[in-house]
Every structure is written in structure tokens, then in C-alpha cells.
């Protein structure tokens, strides 16, 4: 069988460019993310690879429904929606797209910080509504310059965020499970102490079960009523109910959020908050980055189809 006829599954929506390139190389079966995996027909069940966006991932059920599955190739850096333990048990390889989206996600994190601290979104709404022209006074904002900024998760993206903010921050500190090698930023081992020392927390850690609810009510209380929370990681890393309560009660100063627990559903209480900036999970959503991500997905699939090592393996 030629490479162009290897059957694969596209699991949920991808970029048009990636879908076009996949169809040029493989026999593509499109399966909706909410499809009944038990009811897949025989042709689909013969698929040897599955391509999925990170927010869809690959649960155990879809792996079990594809008995010939050899590879899950993710169109994302995050793989928390993939049942990695099940994939490992079944001998299924997993690849992702690290590095190529680092800069754009870091840029958005910094943008969200400035937007939240300087009331950019709220002031934009005030101008568009005509209230400024009618004489409404602009509320004074805080400043980004001079704040101690805490990075939760000093991986590739966390380091890129820290580098961008280093010129304006009074200090960059970070919290990981273990100290990071090759950095001059100060490590704070205890997460509550880390939050207490931070004036801004930027959540850049990877997701997954071990990180679920890591930013909880105790961390938010330690951050305090002047503190800002920025999340470009995964919605599940933050206890969303605790965050809404802390914002509602003024126990933290504001937030900039690109990710949510039940995307695309967002807690309605956040909509009326002028101290919260909301984005539709678009950290990597630039033309250049999405093409680079797609090309890396294709490179992993091409390597696998040729019997070579994956370019960016997860397992």
C-alpha cells in the first residue's frame, strides 16, 4: 500500500491547510469528536493513525474503536486530553507540536497582562459605547512596570514569557515541581508562598490530572486583592469556581483568560467584569504558527509512515 493510501482518522476539526495536506497524502476518514465510537464503520476502524486538535485529544474509547491504531498525532503542544496511559498500554505512539507555538502564546500572555492591568478592554467598550464622549471619567489603572511577576510553570512557554517581561518586572519568580535548570530566576518551592510573593501570576504549566485545580482558593487568597491572574495554559489548571468567587468578592484584582474548563462555555459571571479580559483560546492562532504546527504534524506522520523515528514524540 502506498503512503497516500494509508487510512487515517481526522478526529474533530483541524485547519483547512492541514486537512488539505492530509487528504493529499492519506486516505482520510473524518470523525466528529462527539461521534459514537462504537458505531464506526469497518473502513474507519481500519485507520492506522489519528490526527486531533489538542482540545479534542484522544480518549481511551476512540483508541479502542480503532484496533489498528499506531499513532496519535496532535495539532497542539498540549496532550492532556489524550489518555497517555491507555496509549502506552496499547503501544500507540503519540506526537505533538512543541516549540513552534511558543512565541505567539507568550506574546498573548503578555498582551493579556497589559490588557487586564491597564483596563484596555473595558476602556475600549467605554469609547465604543459613546460614554467617553458623554463625559464619563476614565478609571485609573494599575501599572505593569515594577511588579513582581510569578510564572507558574517555567517550561518553554514560561521562559519565553519571563524573557519578555524581564525588562519591566521588579523581579521574575517561578514555581515548578522541581527547580528548573539554566535559569537565574528565583525558584519558590511552596506554591502558596509563591502566590503570596507574586503581584501577577501567569499560568504556563502543562495540564493533565496532576495539575488539575492547582490554582485553588488558597493560592488566589495568597495572591491577594491587588494581584492579577493570567492563564494561557489549560482551564483545568485553575479552580474556575474559586476564581469566579475570588473575582466577585474582590479577593484578587483581575484576570486575563485564554482558556476555560468547559470550552467554549465560559462562566457567565465573568462577562460583566471589567477587570477580566477574555479570549477564545487563541494563543497559537496566528497564520504563521498554525501553518508551522500543521507542517510539524505532517512531518511526524511522514516519519511514521516511512518507519522512521517521530520528529516530536510524546511517547
Catalytic site positions: 234, 263, 281
Residues 128 and 232: their CA atoms lie apart, in Å, by 27
By the 8 A CB rule, do 98 and 313 touch?
A: no
By the 8 A CB rule, do 240 and 212 touch?
A: no
Q: Integer distance in angstroms from the first to the last C-alpha of the chain?
A: 26
Residues 7 and 15: their CA atoms lie apart, in Å, by 19
Residues 196 and 156: their CA atoms lie apart, in Å, by 24
DSSP 177: S
Phi, psi of 247 (to 5 degrees): -70, -45
Residue 160 buriedness (CB in 10 A; 0-12 / 13-18 / 19+): buried
Residues 69 and 136: their CA atoms lie apart, in Å, by 61
Q: Tell me which residue of 71, 93, 99, 96 sits closest to 315, measured CA to CA.
A: 93
Amino acid at each position: 500500500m502506498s503512503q497516500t493510501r494509508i487510512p487515517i482518522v481526522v478526529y474533530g476539526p483541524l485547519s483547512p491547510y492541514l486537512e488539505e495536506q492530509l487528504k493529499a497524502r492519506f486516505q482520510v476518514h473524518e470523525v466528529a469528536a462527539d461521534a459514537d465510537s462504537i458505531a464506526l464503520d469497518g473502513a474507519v476502524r481500519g485507520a492506522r493513525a489519528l490526527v486531533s486538535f489538542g482540545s479534542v485529544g484522544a480518549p481511551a474509547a476512540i483508541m479502542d474503536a480503532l484496533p489498528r491504531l499506531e499513532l496519535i498525532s496532535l495539532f497542539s503542544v498540549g496532550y492532556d486530553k489524550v489518555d497517555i496511559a491507555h496509549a502506552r498500554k496499547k503501544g500507540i505512539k503519540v506526537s505533538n507540536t512543541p516549540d513552534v507555538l511558543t512565541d505567539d502564546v507568550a506574546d498573548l500572555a503578555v498582551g493579556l497582562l497589559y490588557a487586564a492591568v491597564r483596563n484596555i478592554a473595558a476602556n475600549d467598550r467605554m469609547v465604543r459605547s459613546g460614554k467617553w464622549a458623554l463625559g464619563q471619567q476614565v478609571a485609573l489603572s494599575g501599572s505593569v512596570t515594577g511588579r513582581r511577576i510569578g510564572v507558574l510553570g517555567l517550561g518553554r512557554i514560561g521562559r519565553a514569557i519571563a524573557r519578555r517581561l524581564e525588562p519591566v518586572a521588579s523581579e521574575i519568580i517561578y514555581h515548578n515541581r522541581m527547580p528548573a535548570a539554566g535559569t537565574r530566576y528565583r525558584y519558590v518551592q511552596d506554591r502558596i508562598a509563591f502566590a503570596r510573593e507574586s503581584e501577577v501570576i501567569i499560568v504556563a504549566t502543562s495540564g493533565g490530572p496532576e495539575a488539575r485545580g492547582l490554582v485553588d482558593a488558597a493560592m488566589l487568597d495568597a495572591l491577594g486583592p491587588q494581584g492579577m491572574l493570567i492563564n494561557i495554559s489549560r482551564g483545568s489548571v485553575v479552580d474556575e469556581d474559586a476564581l469566579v468567587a475570588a473575582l466577585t468578592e474582590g479577593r484578587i484584582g483581575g484576570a486575563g483568560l485564554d482558556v476555560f474548563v468547559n470550552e467554549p462555555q465560559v462562566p457567565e459571571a465573568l462577562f460583566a467584569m471589567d477587570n477580566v479580559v477574555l479570549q477564545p483560546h487563541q494563543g497559537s492562532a496566528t497564520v504563521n504558527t498554525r501553518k508551522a504546527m500543521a507542517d510539524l504534524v505532517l512531518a511526524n506522520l511522514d516519519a511514521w509512515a516511512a518507519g522512521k523515528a517521530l520528529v516530536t514524540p510524546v511517547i
